[in-house]
Structure 1
Amino acid sequence: MNPEHPADLLQRLAPGERVVVRYRIEGGFTDALGVLLRAGSGDCTVSTRRGDVLIPYPLITAAKPVPPAPPRRERKFPA
């Protein structure tokens, strides 16, 4: 059985889906958690809390859709 490459999954998802993408960086791996903005032929863009992340497909090791973020809780005490 030949496992599907995560890029194939990302290309099937609609923009606006919430995803987590694990990819290689110098010295290890990192994750991008956010909204899939675009899945092109050679890379994808994920909008995270820290900004948009462009990820080339050859660096991706895993990807999957995730449920919506839970609602933010109100503060109990004033800031």
Structure 2
Amino acid sequence: MSQPLPSPARFLASAVPGIRVVVRYRIEGGLTDALGHLLACDAGSCTVRTRQADVVIPFAQVVAAKEVPPAPPRRPARQAPPSRQE
């Protein structure tokens, strides 16, 4: 008989793909977060698309997870001030 999934993993397993999430999980030497869109979940892991890459996170390493609001719009690039010519 398998044990029930802990609450954060249960949330991820039942979440609708496409929502924006943050997942805190264990890595060697500590913890880290994955912030992005939930792509998929299977029996033992979930995949989150972050800005850098798709991250596959085993449920056994998940410490916390929750849905987060959409990212704010990006600011326009700063323009350099006009150079003063004398």
TM-score w.r.t. structure 2 length? 0.83
How many equivalent residue pairs? 75
Alignment partner of 1:26 is 2:48: no
| 1:16 match | 18
Identity of aligned pairs, percent? 59
| 2:7 match | 5
> In the alignment, residue 9 of structure 1 is paired with which amino acid?
F
| 1:73 match | 75
> In the alignment, residue 20 of structure 1 is paired with which amino acid?
V
Unaligned ranges ≥5, structure 1: none
For residues 43 and 9 of structure 2, the distance between their equivalents in structure 1, rounded to whole angstroms, comes to 9
| 1:46 match | 48
| 1:61 match | 63
Unaligned ranges ≥5, structure 2: 1-5, 81-86
- Report which of the two structures shows the higher radius of gyration computed on alpha carbons: 2
For residues 75 and 14 of structure 1, the distance between their equivalents in structure 2, rounded to whole angstroms, comes to 34
Tell me which stretches of 4 or more aligned residues in structure 1 moved more than 3 Å.
none
TM-score w.r.t. structure 1 length? 0.90
The structure with more strand, counted as a fraction of residues:
1
